[in-house]
Amino acid sequence: MANQKLATVTNELIESYGNTAKNVINAYRVGNERAVVFMDQTFVSALAKTGTRLSAKARSNAVAAEKKLTAYYTKTVEVTSDNANLVVSKAIELAEKSVVQVAANAGRFEKSTGVTTLSALATAAVPAAKAVTKVAAKIEAKSGALVTKIAGKSVKAKVSAVKRAVAAPAKKAVRAVRKAA
């Protein structure tokens, strides 16, 4: 029984660290999306400042090159962060299954041998595991706040929510680049 309690607390800890890792990945995604928006706006501003000094062909070539670079960079960030999220999710899943399996094996070992040392250790470890879980929950909350701060507005610290929150300004900047051409 104590093993199951320790396994539950350990899985909560694993889940919390996993959420923190996902929040860091979201911060990477949101930060890069904001950088793309900034670069698009800067590019539009630079094109506007050139006025008629650039030929129409040079202007269209510059816009085409900027669009390709932006698209490549955005796709790279998207693929990288999606793959990182998949890796974290799989690692969490495997770690949680492993903890449950270890707890089950410890229970079987105790039944087979009659030695209850593992239960005693697990019972003793639960308060420490709960304390670490509380610290991990605070770290998780701070990482969620980091994503919100980077996004520049209130967003949920989830991949899909963060992606949608920043995608609209990025599309507006891309439209502005196209209009400038």
pLDDT tens digits for range 79-101: 999 999 999 999 999 999 999 99
Instruction: Summarize pLDDT for 53-67 with one digit per residue, the tens.
Output: 888 898 889 889 999
Give the chain's domain count.
1
Contact 47, 59 (CB under 8 A): yes
Q: Which residues of the chain have pLDDT under 70?
A: 1-4, 153-181
102 CB contacts (<8 Å, ≥6 apart)?
Answer: 7
Range of the domain at 134: 2-180
The number of helix segments (H) and strand segments (E) in the chain equals 4, 0
Structure confidence at residue 159 (pLDDT):
38
- CA neighbor of 164 nearest in space, from 177, 152, 155, 175: 155
pTM of structure: 0.73
